[in-house]
Amino acid sequence: MARGPREKPKRLAEKLRTIRERLGLSQSELLKRLGAEGRMAYHRISEFESGKGEPSLIVLLEYARLAGVSTDVLIDDERDLPERLTAGRRR
């Protein structure tokens, strides 16, 4: 039986864009803060924020750590980002 496209959170793109904007980062600055400069091009951030692409689980975890939230907040459409993000540090 053929499988269709993988199900994904409807609000993920919006949340990822909100994280970058609330932290006051450009897409290239965000890429650096995620520690993903050598692994992907900065235009991938745009794809994530527009819903045209999805980050890997590792990159999603890095977003969560950077924003100081759990990955549950990012992937659960029923949960909102906190008003203030704590801008956690990369480990």
Residue 39 is encoded by which pair of tokens?
A: 């692994």
| Chain center to CA of 26 | 13
Residue 72 CA to residue 24 CA, distance in Å, equals: 23
Domain ranges for the chain, please list them: 12-75
- Each residue of 32-60: pLDDT tens digit? 999 998 889 989 999 999 999 999 999 99
* Mean predicted confidence (pLDDT) in 8-32: 95
User: Phi-psi category of 76—alpha, beta or left, where left has phi over 0 and alpha has psi -120 to 50?
Assistant: beta
pTM, to two decimals: 0.88
CATH of span 12-75: 1.10.260.40
pLDDT of residue 2: 65
> In this model, does residue 90 exceed pLDDT 80?
no
